[in-house]
A = this chain, B = another copy of it.
Amino acid sequence: MNTSSAISIRRARREDVEAIVKMLADDPLGRSRERIEHPLPSCYFDAFEAVDRDPRIQLVVAEDNAGAVVGCLELCVMPGLSSQGASLGLIEDVRVAMHCRSRGIGEKLVRWAVADARAKGCKLVELLTHHTRVDAQRFYKRLGFVPSHVGMTLRF
């Protein structure tokens, strides 16, 4: 399987949580922030339940044709007054499993999110990508995103 054609995007289920957290942790920035233990700490399942019952948030996974979870993305559609009361789509936690990179899986996930946000009336989709992730910035530019803003963060 060398293309994204055998990849399907579907809503994440509770049994995907471990695979998702592994992808979040398999990353220079994420490594120190996650806890990969067996069993997985319950905080992840609690967070999954909160995401799953929130009608404004969609956590989706990319699944290959063998049923393995190889990517994830979270989309939040947020109503607001600006731009004539248009909703805003925020994309977070985009990850593709290390061994499945460069197959168009990330592109499929992001295009899904953009299409879904647009279908829900968003006029703007935004995301923050760490300034060191130069490849990610190139990737998003190719999908039509513009590096128009500074993404400012405050971590406790």
**Cβ contact within 8 Å between B79 and A47:** yes
**Contact residues on A (Cβ < 8 Å of other chain), bracket:** 35 or more
Complex CA gap A48/B81 in Å reads: 6
A90 at the interface (CB under 8 A from B): yes
Cα distance, A59 to B85, chains bound together (Å): 13
Consensus secondary structure, chain A interface? mixed
Q: Is the CB of A123 within 8 A of B156?
A: yes
A4 at the interface (CB under 8 A from B): no
| CB of A137 closer than 8 Å to a CB of B | yes
Contact across chains for A126 and B153 when beta carbons are under 8 A apart? yes
Whether A118 sits at the interface, judged by CB under 8 Å, is yes
Task: Say yes or no: is A35 at the interface (Cβ < 8 Å to chain B).
Answer: yes
